[in-house]
């Protein structure tokens, strides 16, 4: 199943979103989420109407799910998962 109203994100928008995500990752220390959080995020993405199976990306933001789900500084554009902060 794929989202018909948001099939493609423009190349310019993909580049902008990816550079913004990369910038956030750098300024927050480049941390990754634990493996269990990564798995949960990917399960959510793979079942989402916005998951683009052709290139394994999110059709809302254009980011590759394999990277977006791992980076602690990232969140789902639809709000299905938030940025991750280690609880103390």
pLDDT band at 21 (very low <50, low <70, confident <90, very high): very high
Phi, psi of 71 (to 5 degrees): -75, 125
Rounded Cα distance, 8 and 74, in Å: 20
Enumerate the domain spans of the chain: 11-68
pTM: 0.84
Rounded Cα distance, 12 and 39, in Å: 29
Q: Residues 60-71: pLDDT tens digits?
A: 999 999 999 999
Q: Residues 25-77: pLDDT tens digits?
A: 999 999 999 999 999 999 999 999 999 999 999 999 999 999 999 999 999 99
């Amino acid at each position: 199943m794929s989202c018909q109203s948001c099939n493609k994100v423009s190349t310019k928008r993909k580049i902008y979103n990816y550079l913004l995500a990369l910038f956030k990752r750098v300024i927050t220390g480049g941390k990754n989420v634990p493996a269990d959080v990564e798995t949960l995020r990917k399960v959510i993405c793979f079942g989402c109407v916005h998951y683009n199976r052709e290139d394994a990306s999110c059709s809302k933001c254009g980011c590759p799910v394999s990277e977006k789900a791992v980076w602690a500084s990232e969140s789902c554009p639809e709000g299905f998962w938030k940025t991750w902060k280690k609880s103390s």
